[in-house]
Chain A
Amino acid sequence: MPDLRIEATVNGRTIKRSAKPHQRLLDFLRDDLNLTGNKEGCGAGECGTCSVFVNGTLMKSCLLPVAKVQGAVIESVEALTATGELSVLQKAFHKAGASQCGFCIPGMVMAATAALRANPFADREEIKERLGGNICRCTGYQKIFDAVELARDVQNGRLPASALDEVDTEDGVIGKKVRRIDTPSKVSGRLKYAADMTMPGMLHVQVLRSPHPHARIVSIDTSAAAAMDGVEGVITSDDVPGEDGFGVFVNDQPIMARGKVRYVGEAIAAVAAVDPLTAKRAAAAIKIDYELLPAVFDPFEAMRPGAPVLHDYAPDNITKHIPIRVGDVEKGFAQSDLVVEETYTTQPIEHAYLEPEAGLAYVDHDGVVTIVAPDQNITHHRHMLARIIAKPISKVRLIMSPVGGGFGGKEDMIYQGMLALLAMKTQRPVRLVFTREESIVSTAKRHPSRTTLRMGLVRDGRILASHMTMVCDGGAYGLSTEGVMRKGAILGAGPYAIPNVRVDTYGIYTNNTPSGAFRSFGALQTEFATESHLDICAERLGLDPFEIRRVNAMRDGALTHTKQKLGSVSLLRTLDAAEQASGWERGAPNSRGARRKDLNRDDIRPPCALGARFAGVSKQEAAE
């Protein structure tokens, strides 16, 4: 198809230039006009990071073919600071602390601007509805609502403009709500994340991924891809000069599949080409012969003798087992008045940071292989990369680009190795930007778990014994599994003084998407079991949930389940604080639901009744 000729007004300027028919408005703004303030979070109109105004209407620019904006008036986030100053709304985001990683924020600011344009007096519930198409993964939205309400009140004169100013920090700065120093760059879209960065002569990378969960790679033929016009380099595991393998605890994962693939989405080869389309076409031209292997998708099946083995070093498929032993649980159960057993399961969870993985790499003038990426652990990655590419550590450099959310998911060196190898092979800067689908398919999840907990208590609520076994699906590679098992085991029995404890946590290899680090790992799974269990036991014993925890709470100087002597223990203070703040009504679980009347506190939100506001309006209109 021939190029398009686009004429439009963008941020007040008339633009006349050619564009490719396959380009979306987002590509046109970011790639052609260098307006990188609005981000690509999902490419499917679901997250809102790309929100812009088209003829004054909020639109998701990832869904709009550029041909559709012929003659339109377009405003990207950069338009909000056309005067050189942050808008009232942007200042309110700064004051309220509404931005964390910042990746969703340009789109969120656009949606909030649209909300207050549509109704300058919108209340908090209406603001929520109007922001419903924009996802934020960091903030929990609270401070975003606060910011929009603050901006509304300043715009309406209900609050003075000085409400947006910095708090006074004259008397020292620790303990003060100092405004975040990075927020102006985030609300304005000026902060450059890795996918916003370019370098002269930069090539674009496309990764070829496994369609099979478990298969031997018989052969890889890259010749057709390498011969394509515009392709500057193709790599496979044959291009790794050093000792291949990365991981957080065990280096069991090759940069690209070596000999066999172990999960769907595993990288096998990568191409660097002059533009993303060429790279994509070349990757599709790589021919791979597979010999399918039996696969295992359930950790309990994987532990059985004769199950398919993923890694030679672990013939039982056990990545890690962590035991904790205190006293004798059987003796504790024998002395108990009540013994309760239950099994708890948790599902795999996607980090869903709004910024998909992205990175640049180049070899600098001193021969230093340099990676720029939103990387949660550049120290460790530099060590591993040096070994993998067989260079001294001084010849490997990692630079952290702004991280658009991580939550543990960017601790794994899942793509940096491919970038390094392609920069070395082509001797040109290379950039890799994951699509959302690629990010979801190929990177780690929170460990799904199955935890069986048996607890023995006496009538006053004291726990005499806690026996917990957790089995987690670690997926195809080790990543952080060992650490997850350790944390889950250490903390699993909870912050309670228990004379007899037995905990075993097992991380297991399967052919599922690898599990890895995710905020609160291990503890989230095991403490979910223990804290649910305590309520079951409290009901059986007729105890209030706070009470059963107080009876068992570790106190100052307590010994932990790993026999560590603690100093000050603040558990009772936090229990008191939560109980008082919530206005807790005492009683055993399931004593309140049916009969409680003390609702409508001002520290809860009203239940969401989507569209009710509009129903109310139409009734009113009908009455008039």
Chain B
Amino acid sequence: MARKRGRGMAACWYGIARTAVVDRAAAWAEIDDGGSAKIVTGVTEIGEGILTVLAQIAAHEMGVKPEHVVIGDNDTARAPEASHAGASRQTYMIGNAVALASREARKRLVDVMAEVWDVPPQQIGTGNGEIWAENTNHRISMGEAVSTAKNRGVVPVGSATFGTDTTGLHPVDGAGRPWQAYVFGAQVAEVEVDTVTGEVQVLGIWAAHDVGRAVNPQGVEGQIEGAVVQALGQALMEDYKLDNGRTTTSGFAKYILPTALDVPRVNSIIVEDPDPLGPLGVKGVGEPAMVPTIPAIMNAIYDAVGVRITSLPATPEKVLMAIREKEKQERQIVAEAAE
């Protein structure tokens, strides 16, 4: 058989939010006219879907519909600091800040309605664009409630900041508390290796990642799928080459990226071990999902054809050379045994 299949696995761990420094993020919230809501925060949507995640969190916390949440995002003159897009931090840091700000805005509205309906605030429920008092017939739309509050001189707003309890590393032994939330994961890769050409095809990935709590499972899957394919690029084909400081790969004709034809089926398994320190239980997934893929693929190549690639990328040339070398060594062993 010219084509051999193999499977490999690898595990990972990762820290969420900025490393070995105190991280922080802030948000402002308002339950707005008509029962819509406004969130303003210095968030950076870089494609992961954070705006949708924040809309879901705000909707959940304030009891409005997610499609009625308006997000004012990153502008240093208009939005409070939420810091950067990176370190798998936005859902954790900004999500928690939005949740806390939303709770404060909701409390302002709930306090007004508790007074109007003469019930304790704990008895008030909100959800899906409505506000009501449990065990009574009081139930009105959020829009009406906002109007009631404003007629009493109250604009239901809130603000919040979320920070981490972290430290730097000791300069000699590295001791320290670099993150307050850790995630773990494991992936299995199935590959097919063509022993004539050296080409490796990754056919399947099973990726299990702890994300704390998945606000939007489709978004989590999207992060895992994208991370796996970026890692596959580094594992098998991508290579920025320099010749005395000058690149020879200055375009996509030379710098080869994974296309639709290169990608495995990615099976995502979402594990939820909620973070006990934040109000939502969320953690993160953007970066950790990339970490086990490369070793899982290299381990699968070994399982398929018995060659260990320790130098990335595992191009067809490199894999083929390793297979030939292994065959040569095996022939030598047989020859030596025969003598």
Contacts and interface: CB of A to CB of B under 8 A. Distances in A.
A169 B325 CA distance: 58
Interface string A320-353: 0011111000000000000000111111111010
Contacts, number: 472
Interface in B226-258: 226-231, 233-234, 238-240, 242, 244-247, 249-253, 255, 257
B295 A527 contact: yes
Given A101-B47, A352-B255, A590-B302, A575 B291 contact: no
Contact of A376 (B65, B86, B178): B86
Contact of A295 (B47, B57, B244): B244
A181 B265 contact: no
A574 B186 contact: yes
Given A140-B225, A574-B186, A347 B312 contact: yes
Interface stretch (B72-80, B107-115, B327-335): B72-80
A182 B53 CA distance: 11
Contacts of A534: 10
A578 interface: yes
A517 B19 CA distance: 13
Contact of B215 (A175, A349, A494): A175
A546 B299 CA distance: 12
B272 to A, nearest CB: 9
Interface stretch (A426-434, A454-462, A463-471, A593-601): A593-601
Tell me the dominant secondary structure on chain A's binding face.
loop
Contacts of A206: none
Specify which of B171, B174, B182 lies most central, judged by the most chain A CB atoms within 10 Å of its CB: B174
Interface string A545-558: 11001000110000
Interface string B278-291: 00100000111011
Interface string B137-174: 00000000000000000000000000000000101111
Contacts of B269: 574, 577-578, 581
B276 interface: yes
B119 interface: no
B20 to A, nearest CB: 6
Nearest to A539: B302
A397 B75 contact: yes
B203 A605 contact: yes
B298 interface: yes
Contact of B11 (A397, A574, A594): A574
A101 to B, nearest CB: 3
Given A97-B218, A132-B260, A573-B210, A349 B234 contact: yes
Nearest to A376: B85
A581 B267 CA distance: 8
A402 B230 CA distance: 21
A502 to B, nearest CB: 10
A511 B243 CA distance: 11
A102 B13 contact: no
A152 to B, nearest CB: 15
Given A42-B252, A377-B85, A527-B291, A605 B276 contact: no
B263 A141 contact: yes
Nearest to A183: B52
Contacts of B257: 135, 137, 352
B292 interface: yes
Contacts of A187: none
Interface in A102-121: 102
Contact of B174 (A170, A323, A404, A406): A323
Interface in A557-616: 560-564, 566-571, 573-575, 577-579, 581-582, 584-585, 589-594, 596, 599, 601, 603-608, 610
A397 B77 contact: yes
Contacts of A415: none
A42 B187 CA distance: 33
B278 to A, nearest CB: 13
B299 A568 contact: no
Contact of B291 (A486, A512, A524): A524
**7 tightest Cβ-Cβ pairs between the two chains A and B:** A101-B47, A213-B245, A604-B204, A531-B295, A140-B225, A140-B229, A400-B74
